[in-house]
Amino acid sequence: MILVTGGAGFIGSNFVLDWLATCDEPVVNLDLLTYAGNLANLASLKGDARHLFVHGDIADAKLLKRLLEQNRPRAVIHFAAESHVDRSIHGPEAFVQTNVVGTQRLLEAVKQYWQALDGVAASAFRFLHVSTDEVYGSLDKNAPAFTETHPYEPNSPYSASKAASDHLVRAYHHTYGLPTLTTNCSNNYGPYHFPEKLIPLCIHNALKGKPLPIYGDGQQIRDWLYVSDHCSAIRRVLEAGTTGQTYNVGGWNEKANLDVVRTLCATLDELQPRADGQAYSRQITFVSDRPGHDRRYAIDAGKLERELGWRPAETFETGIRKTVRWYLDHADWVENVTSGTYRTWIDQQYGK
């Protein structure tokens, strides 16, 4: 079996669902269920003996030791993280606690477990750390895309905490020999995405008749990766990646934020037109830029293609259509996660 951390969050839950849809190998799923972790994401697995959910913290060393010894996974896939730049600006300490301290405690527990395995099991074991392209900093408009050897230049408390976790993973490999793999991905989108990030937030606001908030001039460029493509890349790296190596995962889809929202609006115009016949793009509203907003990220995923034969299956156009369709078909899920403290935070962040 495998152990997944953060498997009730956006990317983690998609990974667990995709994993169990493609194979019968059981999953132990450890998640603290903070605001972005949602067991409703995993409702289709209720009663499935292949999925064991454990409510707990990656910083709980005793829990980690017990889970590893009782379940004896052949691999650990580490998704658990605080992941929203805006929240890291308002409260950086939580990001240090989860992304840095939590990752170190997980690595230490995994190291001790791995060192006690017999020769065959130890050589087959893998620790796969899921990270972000934001650790590389910001790119000029015409600069080459990030490769795995690009220097780390994090510019937000979030990206700094993820950079620290990447360095810890590297250190545990080089110091202790732990068989690690690291993936650095671009912006994910797709089903079960908590609506604080750009795409799900704008879908939600568009359908509610609310403004679609765009930071600054909307020309910040990101590479966009459909979440199922990301999941397939992780499975491929776990299967055949070289230990100690980093693999960038991207969608080959560089787009400005404003263009992303315009495409989203056009898709909504087609699939669920406004009652008044007006275009959803009329709701686009520009708001003050956030502090230190990186101008451009771009991923060169060529290493992953050359060495492991992986490429994304979705274009941005096919992926965004699937995403909009999913949110239209799952209005109850959206309503359940957009209540209470979430609304307070959105008002605080975009109210001005």
Strands of the chain, DSSP E: 2-5, 27-31, 51-55, 75-78, 126-132, 180-185, 187-189, 212-215, 221-226, 246-249, 254-256, 284-287
> Strand pairing of 75-78 and 221-226?
unpaired
User: CA-to-CA distance for 141 and 163, rounded, in angstroms?
Assistant: 23
Q: Would 92 be classed as within a structural domain? A: yes
The one catalytic residue in 31, 57, 86, 134 is 134
The one catalytic residue in 82, 133, 223, 294 is 133
Cβ pair 173, 180 in contact under 8 A: yes
Q: Would 44 be classed as within a structural domain? A: yes
Cβ within 8 Å of residue 203, ≥6 positions away:
195, 264, 268, 323, 324, 327
70 φ/ψ angles, rounded to the nearest 5 degrees: -75, -35
Q: Would 156 be classed as within a structural domain? A: yes
The one catalytic residue in 113, 136, 158, 247 is 158
Q: Would 209 be classed as within a structural domain? A: no
Is the pLDDT at 344 greater than 90, yes or no? no
Indicate the pLDDT class of residue 36, thresholds 50, 70 and 90: confident
Q: Supply the CATH number for residue 123's domain.
A: 3.40.50.720
Domain count of the fold of the chain: 1
In the structure encoding, which two tokens stand for residue 184, read together? 């650095």
- 133 is annotated as an active-site residue: yes
- 148 is annotated as an active-site residue: no
Indicate the pLDDT class of residue 346, thresholds 50, 70 and 90: low
pTM as predicted = 0.94
Tell me: the pLDDT tens digits for 38-92? 999 999 999 999 999 999 999 999 999 999 999 999 999 999 999 878 888 989 9
User: CA-to-CA distance for 59 and 31, rounded, in angstroms?
Assistant: 11
Q: Would 327 be classed as within a structural domain? A: no
Average pLDDT over every residue of 11-33: 97
Residue 338 is predicted with a pLDDT of 79
User: CA-to-CA distance for 90 and 84, rounded, in angstroms?
Assistant: 10
Instruction: Tell me what percent of the chain is helix, strand and coil, each rounded to the nearest 5.
Output: 50, 15, 35
Q: Would 277 be classed as within a structural domain? A: no
Residue 290 is predicted with a pLDDT of 86
> Strand pairing of 126-132 and 284-287?
unpaired
Cβ within 8 Å of residue 289, ≥6 positions away:
215, 216
Domain range for 88 is: 2-189+226-252+295-313
Helix count and strand count (H, E) for the chain: 14, 12
Q: Would 83 be classed as within a structural domain? A: yes
